[in-house]
Amino acid sequence: MDSSSSSSSSSSVHLALAALFGASVMAISAFFVHKRTVDQVLDRLINLRRRSPPPPAAVTADGFFPSEDDGGGGGYFGSDGEIEIDKARSSDENVLNSYRVSCSMPNVGLPNEWLDDEAMRFENRLPNSWDKLDLIPSGLPPLHTARRDEQDQSINISGSNIPVGSGSRLMTPRSSGGYAFGSMGDSDEEGTELATEQDILFTYEDNNALAEYVNENNPNIHNLSAPPFEGDNKSCILDQNCNAIRHEAKENVDQHGAGKEDTASLHIIRNDPVFANSILPLTTAVHESMNKEEEEVRKMIRECLDLRDRYVYREKVAPWMKATVEPSSVSGTNNDPLSFVPVEATAHHFRMEDGVVRVYAGENDLTDLFPVASSTMFFTDMHHLLKVTSIGNVRSACHHRLRFLEEKFRFHLLVNSDREFLAQKSAPHRDFYNIRKVDTHVHHSACMNQKHLLRFIKSKLRKEPDEVVIFRDGIYFTLKEVFESLQLTGYDLNVDLLDVHADKSTFHRFDKFNLKYNPCGQSRLREIFLKQDNLIQGRFLAEVTKQVLSDLETSKYQLAEYRVSIYGRKQSEWDQLASWFINNALYSKNAVWLIQLPRLYNVYKGMGTVTSFQNILDNVFIPLFEVTVDPNSHPQLHVFLMQVVGFDIVDDESKPERRPTKHMPKPAEWTNEFNPAYSYYAYYCYANLYTLNKLRESKGMPTIRLRPHCGEAGDIDHLAAAFLLCHNISHGINLRKSPVLQYLYYLAQIGLAMSPLSNNSLFLDYHRNPFLMFFHRGLNVSLSTDDPLQIHLTKEPLVEEYSVAAKVWKLTSCDLCEIARNSVYQSGFSHADKSHWLGHKYCKRGPEGNDIHKSNVPDTRISFRHETWKEEMQYVYLGKARLPQEIDI
């Protein structure tokens, strides 16, 4: 059994080996047979090409080579000076057609589908010998062959980037003979790519070289150096990239052959009616439509900029143009900024009408001195702006311009970064630490860091435990009793227990972020330490504020714009705030103040504090007009308003809201429980501030600018409204969602006080923050802290903000100094202060207004920013922009 089984297994092995040997022999034989067949076909093709030429034919009057019927010999000149064989002229054609070529045969035949479609109509006009070499079915993928000898030359088509035959086509297994006309590099299909240099059979050369060659071979041919595409209303497809394409193609030809031109292909393209009448008019129409579309886009951008000019308040006389006068004659104050000097009242009369204060020269006068755009007009214009931002071609155009600006800045850095660094090194004394930096967005209640607040609370518990600080539930509590009710002692307190720092729990939770204002999670502690309208009249908050101001003055080069709240619940809030400011002597040369209005109508309506939105407007703006007309009516408020430079609108922007229409109810009619939309708040604040500023300017008093929170979250409606109404905004990170608004903000150079660390805790991770992109593109951006109590860890939160940005985004010293310079321009500090900090010519645009010894920003950087902005403005205004020589602050 063992011997029989072993013999059967050995026989099976022998049979398998014999079968394998037989198969191998057959495969080798088939390979050599196939190779011999291919070689025969190739040799036959070469012999046909080397055939002796007939006498050269002349060119007919219409520019074509004569066909066989015309007696012209049926040939034409090839790229190597030989005569090409015309269609149906070779006696061996039937032999070629009889070959059954394998699908693995190299792609020596170049199918010309473009010419094949008209082969019957233009058989005598298209002497293209390559058509007869179409030996491969059109459904098979093209295969590449190497050059067999020096006779295989690439054929050049002068003056055009149009592919002929299979030249410059996309090499894809889906299309063996298809063309990538006009989109050779844009296909998204997988496996689609441009042919390599070795595969390009049709390349491009200069017309002059072609003309010289043809003239040398046939002196009867003239003016062939003219553009290959002629006729009425026909344009050449050449564009600005054509020269680069020609040179690249010429290099390819020089690498692979003698670089000779084929005149036949030139005549084919030049005289083919299908190409001339179909392709060219289509291209011309595309260019014309694109030009018309671009013009429409620029027109719409200009209209949007003109809309902003119609709304934004600007002083008639710039601060630097005003004559130097004594402060007492202007503001009613002497050298002490906190003392009041009586000022005579004027005869102006004002009254609130439909939510907007109207000012008249007298009580019986009916002429509005300072008319402002109506709400209907504003909402109509805002909707027009939103419509423009949603148009596809406008979005694409603005996106391309912004990308261009970004790449332009990067190129500037490549060329000039070393030069900027050397310029900074040559500026004596100045560096990032001793240039002025303004914290353009910081809330006063959170202006200290958490460790500072902890030390202050402990010190008050130790020094003033018996101070009566709060009235709750009909009982007066001392500070010690308050902490005993919380079962806390001074020793128990630490930063973690204080729990005022934002963490992961606050991300996309604005409600939880607001709760971080409550130390130890207790609203009573917030009322005691972080409120100015409490039982102790805000004494604790004033004391900690003085400590923060003292730190600012010690640093000397850091400044801040603090925001304090007016809620609009009652008119007496203004006098309480002014009294707190004056009585606690909170003036500092390193700080100015803004008023912030929380958008809390729905809360006050639910509490019964107000009955309509008109009540909030009355409580906020009536006292301001009263003190402006007669400063003696509110003397402390008059003094305080000398330090107020801006008006802010704050609250959670992520709350859903309905977009206002031009038929919105008047404020007195807004009696429902829903909060008005952001743009509704913005318009009525703007309209009243516009009238107030006109009145204050006419009396020589400082004005108050609208600088709201905007674009931190929510819809882009907020940014559209702010573009029309506001000077600067805080945050603006949602501009990344609207390229049109982003481009408009760039052109208008609207200031953006951005707070990346704050956004990182609330709405946007730090690495996704668009600050760096905005800065590269040239938007007017600055860095700010927002809420140091919740966000920052160090004693100098503004420097911490700069340092984190510098490390994460690799900002250079020049970048940091430019951002700091922007913050001074955005701030509301006086002309005298800015002149001292930036140079007496700071109001001039461009390098003329820059002093590197003050700002530490090289003129190279300022010149680049200015020239780039000018070019964009001229682009939008078609070179007719009238650009001011001075900045718009």
Q: Cite the annotated binding site for Zn(2+) by residue number.
A: 441, 443, 709, 786
CB 770 within 8 A of CB 749: no
User: For residue 621, how far is the Cα from the chain centroid?
Assistant: 37
∠ at Cα 130 (124, 136), nearest 5°?
Answer: 125
- CA of residue 857 relative to chain centroid, distance: 24
User: For residue 221, what are its two tokens?
Assistant: 């041919």
Q: What is the DSSP letter of 808?
A: H
Burial level of 235, CB count in 10 A (0-12/13-18/19+)?
A: middle
Please confirm, yes or no, whether 256 is among the known catalytic residues. no
Cβ pair 779, 339 in contact under 8 A:
no
Residue type, 69: D
Task: Look at residues 679, 678, 685, 676 and name the one whose alpha carbon lies nearest to residue 654.
Answer: 678
Q: Which amino acid, residue 516? A: K
φ, ψ dihedrals at 565, nearest 5°: -95, 140
Binding-site annotation: residue ranges for substrate: 443, 512-517, 712, 787-790
What element of type H or E holds 292? helix 280-311
Give the Cα separation of 440 and 592 in Å (integer).
10
DSSP string, 582-639: HHTT---TTEEEEEEEE--HHHHHHHTS-SSHHHHHHHHHHHHHHHHH-GGGSHHHHH
> Are the beta carbons of 442 and 561 closer than 8 angstroms?
yes
Catalytic residue from among 731, 776, 792, 866: 731
- Beta bridge mates, 171: 193
DSSP secondary structure letters along 820-877: HHHHHHHS---HHHHHHHH-TTTTBSGGGG--HHHH---HHHHHHHHHHHHHHHHHHT
**Centroid of chain to Cα 413:** 18
Residue 816 dihedral angles phi and psi, to the nearest 5°:
-60, -40
Residues 6+ apart with CB under 8 A from 278: none
Annotated binding site: 441, 443, 512-517, 709, 712, 786-790
Is residue 437 within 8 Å of residue 805, measured between CB atoms?
no
What is the DSSP-derived secondary structure letter of residue 16? H
CA distances from 429 to 559, 853, 854 (A): 20, 8, 9
Q: Which two tokens stand for residue 814?
A: 């020049």
Using CA atoms, how far residue 499 sits from 96, 305, 489, 782, in Å, is 90, 46, 16, 29
Find the angle CA(798)-CA(439)-CA(843) to the nearest 5 degrees: 130
Look up residue 866 and give its amino acid: H
Supply φ then ψ for residue 763, to 5 degrees. -130, -20
8-state DSSP, 786: B
Q: DSSP assignment, residue 55?
A: P
> In sequence order, what are the beta bridge partners of 596?
565, 648
List, by residue number, the catalytic residues.
731
